[in-house]
Amino acid sequence: MTNEELMREAIRLSVENVKNGGGPFGAVIARNGEIVATGVNRVTPLHDPTAHAEVSAIRAACNKLGTFDLSGCEIFTSCEPCPMCLGAIYWAHLDRIYYGNNQRDAAEIGFDDKFIYDELAVPVADRKKRMEALLSDEAIEAFRAWTLKEDKVEY
């Protein structure tokens, strides 16, 4: 499939998902022009704030391919990814992102992520969501164990 066909599939999924009670977002993960997995926004039907189209597609692709590393794959998403999805895309090592609608388009219909982008630039102590380090001297034990583990799978 061409990039345009893959994007049209993401768009089709987003339109269909609205009709099925989900948010107006769809995503396709492809490798060499072949669809590996798809996802749609199911936040409200699943009562899961992480069930965005991109995250759902990443989960499905990783499950199908039996890996957490989607290098060699690309994502086609009906809208520019939110901060959570963008982070997931980077962690999944997808090679490229294609998107239809942008952040401003999403904000115009009530999906405004600007407050998250803004918060990321604010020092931890000044963020709207209070954050406090707690039991850091105990929590570091897991990091020490990871550092010493000889058979770890790095990601």
Identified catalytic residue from 4, 9, 34, 54 = 54
Structure tokens at 81: 């990814």
pLDDT the model gives residue 153:
87
Q: In angstroms, rounded to a whole number, what is the distance separating the alpha carbons of residues 26 and 134?
A: 38
Q: Over the stretch 43-53, which tens digit does the pLDDT of each residue have?
A: 999 999 999 99
Whole-model pTM? 0.91
54 noted as active-site residue: yes
DSSP per-residue letters across 12-75: HHHHHHHHTTS-S-EEEEEETTEEEEEEE--HHHHT-TT--HHHHHHHHHHHHHT-S--TT-EE
pLDDT band at 31 (very low <50, low <70, confident <90, very high): very high
Name which of 40, 60, 64 is nearest 52 in CA terms. Answer: 40
Q: Over the stretch 77-135, which tens digit does the pLDDT of each residue have?
A: 999 999 999 999 999 999 999 999 999 999 999 999 999 989 989 999 999 999 888 99
